[in-house]
Amino acid sequence: MTLLARAALCAALLMSWSGAALAQALPSWNDGPAKTAIETFVKKVSDPASPDFVRPEERIAVFDNDGTLWVEQPMYTQLAFALERVKALAPQHPEWRQNPVLKAAIDGDMKTLAAAGEKGIIELVMVTHAGSTPADFHKIVASWLDEARHPRFKRKYTELVYQPMLELLAYLRDNGFTTYIVSGGGIEFMRPWADKVYGVPPAQVVGSSIKTRFDMVDGKPTLVREPSMNFIDDGPGKPVGINQHIGQRPIAAFGNSDGDLQMLQWTTAGEGPRFGLIVHHTDAEREYAYDRQSSVGRLDKALDLAAGQGWTVVDMKKDWKTIFAPAK
């Protein structure tokens, strides 16, 4: 074989291997505009020969959690945790029944609890999440997630993560991105399992938090979680949380609701190549179908703005071959 023929064969094999690798990168995604948009963006920012090349240290991607990476219907997973926790702790706190919100939670009166709105939910979270050290709370969350099952799918919540999004996280990291979770959920509710489930270590989790104080307990330095809100990492709070925890503007943002609107706006308003993506829940058979009228994960304004902002909208029913990984 001549030198020229060998070179041609090597080039053909390289192109074949590159094409196969690309095809395997997002195997749960159907071919279409959404998948193409992702691959095009990643290629142009990670190819050193591209005029849109972005240095690896600037390749930051932020992901909402609830409804973007795992199931959020019929209620946020952390709310399900809080409801079970309040019932477990209620015998130790008979005074809670004097509080209409806590009484409703203990009795399973979801109508009254829903009427209490965000203020009532925060109150419920405060009493069920405080009073322990971060390490103890970590164990409580991990234990609950190991036992709890989703009411419809009868599977662990950590099994109800979206397989296409897991592939996307891995694909971005394989191409030099650092991936962060930026969620309205509790930062210490997510940290116990985010690394194992998503490959996102605790330091790369940004979320809402309650106040924590330093104390000496029996001569040992201790952190104690208090029943008071410290920061709400949702809506306009997300860009603030990104600035505080990450310290630089991401180049890609992924969300599914109006709670992610400001994060998408902040990310894609920066200079240079930018990417925004919205997961639109359209599959009632395999998961859920909801958007504008939903009280959980409402998607209204962000959906209206998506086309004008150049954001990619993923139609779960059309764009995803599968929703969850098969049960083990």
d(C-alpha 169, C-alpha 39), whole Å? 13
d(C-alpha 96, C-alpha 101), whole Å? 9
Are the beta carbons of 70 and 262 closer than 8 angstroms? no
d(C-alpha 181, C-alpha 208), whole Å? 11
Going by their DSSP bridges, the two strands 220-231 and 205-217 should be labelled as: antiparallel
> E strand or H helix at 126, and its extent?
helix 117-129
> E strand or H helix at 301, and its extent?
helix 301-309
d(C-alpha 294, C-alpha 282), whole Å? 13
Q: 3-class SS at 61?
A: strand
Question: What single DSSP character describes residue 66?
Answer: B
pLDDT digits (tens, 9 = 90+) for 108-132: 998 888 888 888 888 898 889 998 9
Are the beta carbons of 277 and 67 closer than 8 angstroms? no
Per-residue tens of pLDDT for the chain, all 328 residues: 554 445 444 444 444 444 444 447 899 999 999 999 999 999 999 999 999 999 999 999 999 999 999 999 999 999 999 999 999 999 999 999 999 999 999 999 988 888 888 888 888 988 899 989 999 999 999 999 999 999 999 999 999 999 999 999 999 999 999 999 999 999 999 999 999 999 999 999 999 999 999 999 899 999 999 999 999 999 999 999 999 999 999 999 999 999 999 999 999 999 999 999 999 999 999 999 999 999 999 999 999 999 999 999 999 999 999 999 988 7
Beta bridge partners of 240: none
Domains and CATH numbers, the chain: 26-75+150-319 (3.40.50.1000), 77-131 (no CATH)
Q: How many other β-carbons are positioned within 10 Å of the β-carbon of residue 161?
A: 19
Inter-CA distances, 46 with 56, 134, 170, Å: 8, 38, 15
Alpha helix ranges (H) inside 130-274: 134-147, 163-174, 187-198, 237-245, 261-268
Going by their DSSP bridges, the two strands 178-186 and 205-217 should be labelled as: parallel
Question: What single DSSP character describes residue 274?
Answer: -
pLDDT digits (tens, 9 = 90+) for 272-281: 999 999 999 9
Q: 292 φ, ψ to 5°? A: -65, -35
Which residue matches tokens 């109800």? 160
d(C-alpha 63, C-alpha 254), whole Å? 5
